[in-house]
Amino acid sequence: MKKLIILSFLSLMFAQGNAQLSNVILFTENGERFTAILNGVRQNNEPETNIKITGLNAEFYKLKVIFESSALGEKNFNLAIELGMESTYVIKKNNKGEFVLRFMSSVVMAQAPRNVPEQAVVAYHVNPVATPTQTSQTISTTTTTTSQGSNVDPGSVNMNMGVNVDGMGGGISINVSGMDEGMGNSSSTVHTQTTTTTTTTVSGGHTPTPTPPPTQVVYLPGYSGQVGCPVPMSKQDFSDLNATISSKTFEETKFTIAKQVLNDRCLFVSQVKEIILQFTFEQTRLDFAKYAYDRTYDVGNYFKVNDTFTFESSTEELNDYIDSRR
């Protein structure tokens, strides 16, 4: 009985551990090839039209899509996924001809399909892909050439010349000693050094691991997405702001106070939603949502602001505004 309980407990723990990992599928509606970059790290080496990224362990990521065609450029998105699920997103053009990221569906990991044709599958990684490096190698070659001169041995030259002149009653004798000795043999050796430099390309090298950035203080536990402003407002300061806005009767006055306070302040998305819900008119809510975007700490959660709108057109307009700010 004890063994059965232990096995059941281990199975439950294993299932819970697996449930914390997620997959995401990204594809283009019209088959444009692209490269996906999550939190600044390239995921696929070659551009694809349909990519499944496995092993994700966070709910929010910063996604950059770089299209293979330079004419299409690149686009930044906030990507939200649910842990333990396989989420599918489509990259498509909206009515304005701009690329947007739209949620399609999600399914629990155990029911996710396997081996979909023409779908590239990559495991999520946080380290950049290694790139080849080049090294130079120098080779020196020395050549020695020896030349041998010819042997010359003139020796000594002696010349005797006698002249007898009868008419003079005497004689002349001339003895000439020729060249000196010691000049018989000669040779020479010439040394020539030739240096050849060869450059060799070595593939398979790796770039040095980049120095990690300084540790950033996390003001929202569990959040690992993009940070829009450095230090969010304290709970007490926000409570005072919310009470001040709530005490005003006219919507225009509430909007003015909220903007004044946020000129040099930073909010969480949850706080932005609280302020928005104090406004009655849809247009005022939309205007404040746009204003607060650049003054929000957890901007990766900003999609949650969409819950405060009544009309879908407001959601579309806010998403277009956010895309323009990236």
How far is CA 147 from each of CA 79, 150, 191, rounded to the nearest angstrom? Answer: 80, 10, 10
Q: Which residues pair with 137 in a beta bridge?
A: 198
- C-alpha to C-alpha distance for 261 and 258, rounded to whole angstroms: 5
CB under 8 Å to 59, separation ≥6 — which residues? Answer: 80, 81, 82, 83, 222, 225
Roughly how many angstroms between the first and final C-alpha of the chain, as a whole number? 59
Enter the tokens of residue 325: 């700010």
How is residue 315 written in tokens? Answer: 């959601």
- How far, in Å, CA of 157 to CA of 241, rounded? 126
* Cα separation, 287 vs 306, whole angstroms: 13
Q: For the chain, what are the domain ranges?
A: 20-123, 137-198, 235-325
CATH number of 20-123: 2.60.40
CA–CA gap between residue 233 and residue 255 (Å, rounded): 18
Contact 303, 232 (CB under 8 A): no
The pLDDT score that the predictor gives to residue 296 is: 95
DSSP per residue over 186-247, as a string? --EEEEEEEEEEEEE---S--PPPPPPPPPPPPSSTT--S--SSSSPPPHHHHHHHHHHHHT
pLDDT, residue 189, reads: 54
pLDDT 10s per residue in the chain (326 long)? 555 555 555 555 444 444 478 899 999 999 999 999 999 899 999 999 999 999 898 888 999 999 999 999 999 999 888 888 899 999 999 988 899 999 888 888 878 887 788 899 999 988 765 544 444 455 555 555 555 554 445 454 454 545 444 555 555 444 545 444 444 454 555 555 555 555 544 444 444 555 555 555 678 888 988 898 988 999 999 999 999 999 999 999 999 999 998 888 899 999 999 999 999 999 999 999 999 999 999 999 999 999 999 999 999 999 999 999 87
pTM for this model (two decimals): 0.40
